Amino acid sequence: MVDTEKQRNIREDNLIPYKPGESGNPGGRPKGKSLTAVLRELLDEIPRGDTAKLKERIVKALLDKALKGDTKALDLIFERADGKITLPVELTERVKVIVKRKDYGN
- Model confidence pLDDT, tens digit, residues 12-67: 666 677 777 777 777 777 778 888 888 888 878 887 777 778 888 888 999 999 99
Contacts of 65 (CB under 8 A, 6+ apart): 73
Residue 24, helix vs strand vs coil: coil
54 within some domain: yes
34 within some domain: no
- Model confidence pLDDT, tens digit, residues 70-85: 999 999 888 888 888 7
What is the distance, to the nearest Å, from the Cα of residue 11 to the centroid of all Cα atoms in its chain?
26
**Whole-prediction pTM value?**
0.42
CB 52 within 8 A of CB 38: no
pLDDT at 65 (0 to 100): 95
75: containing domain = 49-84
78 within some domain: yes
22 within some domain: no
57 within some domain: yes
Residue bearing the bigger pLDDT, 106 or 5: 5
36 within some domain: no
Count up the domains in the chain and report the number. 1
